[in-house]
Amino acid sequence: MMQLRSNGARSAGLLRRRARWSSAAAFAPADKLTAPPLEQSTPTSPVLQDTFGRQHSYLRISLTEKCNLRCTYCMPEEGVELQRKSSLLSQKEIMRLATGFVSKGVTKIRLTGGEPLVYPHFDALSAQLGALPGLEELCVTTNGLVLQKKLGALMAAAAPTKAGVPLLNISLDTMHAKKFEFVTRRKGFERVMGAIEAAIGAGCRVKVNCVVMSGMNEDELCDFASFAASRKVDVRFIEYMPFDGNAWNDKKFVSYTDMLDEIRKEHPSIERDVDTAHDTSKHWSAAGWEGRIGFITSMSEHFCGSCNRLRLTADGNLKVCLFDNGEVSLRDAMREGMSEQQLDAVIDAAVNKKKFALGGNSELDEAGNDVGMYNIAASKVTTRPATPFLPASVCSAAAVAVSAAAAPSPAHSSALTCPSGAQNRPMILIGG
């Protein structure tokens, strides 16, 4: 098994403040919503742009909270409390929001979960999304268990888009069946491997996502690299990130530089590829390889400066940053009768409150995050107690969570000091 070297110690030093994550029994509901008058709404723009000039063209939609696996880094062992069906977005509401986002400049939609392929209306919804004028890429992040059954429908749904084929991210953290069962707490390794091969054979653009954890799978890095060398696939190694209920600690963390050093032992000729503007992965390949490898360095070298992503949870909350506790209920906005113009104002105001890096969590002190609420309609800051589950509360559509202390600043170090006192949903409810 790989021994972490001196740069591993350095990475551990950067992460010296361990996160304190706590579970809660219930999900806090959004506050009662009152639609702001049009004359008080924030002016909208056709492009979703934040105060740092980042334009958001990529929307991740979580279709369901349900999943047919129980991955250790994604979901607490006891599972998560699922919300009532009435609390989740309907297919019609998803389409209304997706249509609006595409009209405002979103060109890429990724369907996530939970496990999106267990969503009961997946085939019909994916076909509707793929037909949206202006949508260039239809993507799915899946664990692969039922992918082969859905592959035909996915190919048809993505055909009208500019890409013409679905872009698939398939989770696989080990090349060994027994270890797969340990990590996911379920069987199914052969099905996932079969799904990867079937998707590659069908001409899909396939990425394999591997969360790397010390003592679990860092000894398989070279095996995954060899897998990429022999197939038209991107294998992406993801630094282990802290979320509520996943028992994160820095002893499990393996940094980008440590992973790269290990892979170079068997693949010394790999070289850095040129990445595109919004790539989250640092890509590497070698002459003669069919695919390539990449590293998603959310913890050691964040890529927030080029972020173009927004997230929509299954219960209709807009999440402007994966690491930010603040959320805005677009579900409530729609169900309370907001017009398209008012809904656009809420979305734009939320995007304008996006922090420069890591949801602002790199600025948190040991005492935790004192959270306030920003009222879009009245433009006044008022303090509100934190809820048991999300300290930033689940904001009503007329309010966006912001720090009560100061506006965000781009002067962040690229090395993360892990947030203390911060809480977030379990990853399974965010869609990764």
* pLDDT higher than 70, residue 135: yes
Confidence band for 265, pLDDT divided at 50, 70 and 90: very high
Q: Please tell me the pTM assigned to this model.
A: 0.75
pLDDT tens figures, 277-306: 888 889 999 999 999 999 998 778 776 888
The average pLDDT across 381-407 equals 30
* pLDDT higher than 50, residue 379: no
* pLDDT higher than 50, residue 4: no
pLDDT tens figures, 114-131: 899 999 999 999 999 999
CB-based burial label for 249 (10 Å; 0-12, 13-18, 19+):
middle
Percentage above 90 pLDDT, the chain: 55
Please check whether residue 351 is in contact with residue 310, taking contact to mean a CB–CB distance below 8 angstroms: yes
pLDDT tens figures, 360-376: 665 432 222 322 222 22
Q: What is the pLDDT of residue 399?
A: 40
Joined together, the tokens standing for residue 379 give 């433009």
Mean residue pLDDT of the chain comes to 76
The total number of structural domains in the chain stands at: 1
The average pLDDT across 309-333 equals 92
Confidence band for 314, pLDDT divided at 50, 70 and 90: very high
Give the Å distances, CA to CA, from 359 to 58, 74, 221: 17, 19, 30
* pLDDT higher than 90, residue 87: yes
Burial 53-91 (b: 16+ CB within 10 A, else e): ebebbbbbbbbbbbbebbbbbbbbeeebeeeeeeebbee
pLDDT tens figures, 171-223: 999 999 999 998 898 899 999 999 999 999 999 999 999 999 998 999 999 99
Q: What is the DSSP string of 277-337?
A: TT-SEEEEE-TT-SSEEEEE-TTTS--GGG--EEEE-TTSEEES-TT---EEEHHHHHHTT
Confidence band for 431, pLDDT divided at 50, 70 and 90: low
The average pLDDT across 46-57 equals 88
What is the β-pairing status of strands 309-312 and 317-319?
antiparallel
**CATH code for the domain of 192:** 3.20.20.70
Between residues 227 and 431, the one the model is more confident about: 227
Domain encompassing residue 31: 1-432
Q: Cβ–Cβ contacts within 10 Å for residue 121, how many? A: 13
